[in-house]
Amino acid sequence: MKNHVWRPLSVALALVAAILLFRYFYVPKDFGSGKYGFMYSYHRQADEEQWKNMPVRYQNTGGQQMHESCRECHAEEVAGRTKELHGIIACEDCHGPARNHPDDPETLPVDRGRDLCLRCHTSLSYITSDRKRIPGIDAKEHNPGSECVECHNPHNPRLEDMQR
């Protein structure tokens, strides 16, 4: 081969070699380790114990028992939720982690801010996503400066209220 082929090829090979050398010295040896390597996630095996020792913050884990620990004291709110709208959302998704809530009610402050609702209800133009099924609003146009709960009941929203 002529020089015009070897020069760019040698530069490309040198770049690949430099990246592999950098990775060898920079990435920890136990990163992505295990019998499956990177198949399930990027993690360090050394960090697993640290994560196991992290305190659990959530009372419910989802599924059928998603609202059960809340139902004991808040039966009326849980019963009023609809399956089609907010009933499929765990209470802790909006109210925050409730692990110590029954023992210390002050640990679960209720956020009535607009930003909480706008996490899901901001109008997005992703037409190919399931996100388009969630009714969205233009926050600058729809009652700016007001809390959503002044007009909407988050425990039992009605679809016609959201489409106004």
Ordered by start, the domain boundaries in the chain are: 3-52, 61-110, 111-164
Give the model confidence (pLDDT) of 147-162 as tens digits.
888 888 887 776 555 5
- Gap between the Cα atoms of 77 and 73, Å rounded: 9
Q: How confident is the model at residue 164, as a pLDDT? A: 47
The residue with greater pLDDT, 62 or 7, is: 7
Distance CA 42, CA 33 (A): 9
Cβ neighbors of 74 (< 8 A, separation 6 or more) are none
Distance between CA atoms of residues 42 and 65, nearest Å: 30
* Stated pTM of the model: 0.56
